[in-house]
Structure 1
Amino acid sequence: MNKLELINSPLETALRIIIILSILRQEIPTLDEIVMLDYYVLHANDFDPALESIHPDIPNRENELLIRRKLVIEGLRILESRSLIKINYTKTGIRYCTNELSNQVVKYLESPYSSKVTRNISESSTKSFDEIMLSVRKLITEDSNIWINKL
């Protein structure tokens, strides 16, 4: 796999997911919530000016939410195939959390990229999980520009 194949790949997404889940240990999010958390981490500056976004501020970036779900599903499949996540079947839906193995893997991630992901979700931890979810939902539902071409 070359460097370009890793960008926006299921593997890159899987690594972000285990970092996010390991930091938010007290929360056990659903697939939709993981999609929103992933978007939040990648575009953190859209929600908190003190944070640096990982992905560039391109026009129409909000539309990533429409395609991010597929990448998150593929990333979760990678993590599940390697026993790096725990899947919880609950009355409120299917929820995902880390396990001891994934927490150990996260400790060994030392790249600048993983540091940025960690920083964005850690510094956001001053907000509650519900506040983060609300801010992404607000972007989706209240920003009519998300559905209009901004070019």
Structure 2
Amino acid sequence: MTTETPSHFISPFNGPVEIGLRALCVLTTAFPAAYALQRLVVFDYFLVHSDDIDGGPEGLHPRTPHRGGEILVRRGVIQDGLTLYESRGLIERVYKDGGIFFAATDKSADFLDTLSTEYLAGLRERADWVVDSFGALDDAELDAMVRDRIGTWGAEFSMESVLWTEETS
């Protein structure tokens, strides 16, 4: 018996299917606006770790140590997810001054309306919150916000472990 994962296996968690669905929720909320990949990377983090933002709703994913670093590794998987949903006609690439952007299509909302899970309902609520709260920020403002806070997202675990170690000594 082998414990190796088959090369054709695609994880449903934080893989292209799930992350693409999260991007689709954001883009559908923002429709007809189109967002650059970097904005979608940041918005994906905000979507699942909304409780890292003051006044944000409860996060969909657990508060893990050093989760701020997730922003640095999401880009490739988000690209794969966008490509997957683009191949199904649910996301489109928009070429304009400033680069390549992504937008929902006229089929996106109908597709999301056919899905009825608690997780998707939470995604859609948080996508509304993300777009309403941060959609109007320009790229420089959004980047500055992330740079100012990224080191604190998940850092509370470092302090807790130091305090716990001191208590047991």
TM-score by length of 1: 0.84
**Is the contact between residue 32 and residue 103 of structure 2 (CA under 8 Å) also seen in structure 1?**
no
Residues of 2 paired with 1:144 and 1:87: CA distance?
A: 28
Residues of 1 paired with 2:150 and 2:16: CA distance?
A: 29
Which residue matches 1:82?
88
Residues of 2 paired with 1:121 and 1:36: CA distance?
A: 12
Of all paired residues, the percent bearing the same amino acid is: 24
Which residue matches 2:63?
57
Give the Å deviation of 1:133. Answer: 6.1
Which residue matches 2:49?
43
Work out whether 1:27 is the aligned partner of 2:13: no
Structure 2: stretches of 5+ with no match in the other structure: 1-9, 159-169
Which residue matches 2:15?
9
Residues of 1 paired with 2:115 and 2:140: CA distance?
A: 29
Work out whether 1:95 is the aligned partner of 2:101: yes
Instruction: Provide the aligned length of Structure 1 versus Structure 2.
Output: 148
Letter in 2 for 1:22: T
Structure 1: stretches of 5+ with no match in the other structure: none
Instruction: Name the larger-Rg structure.
Output: 2
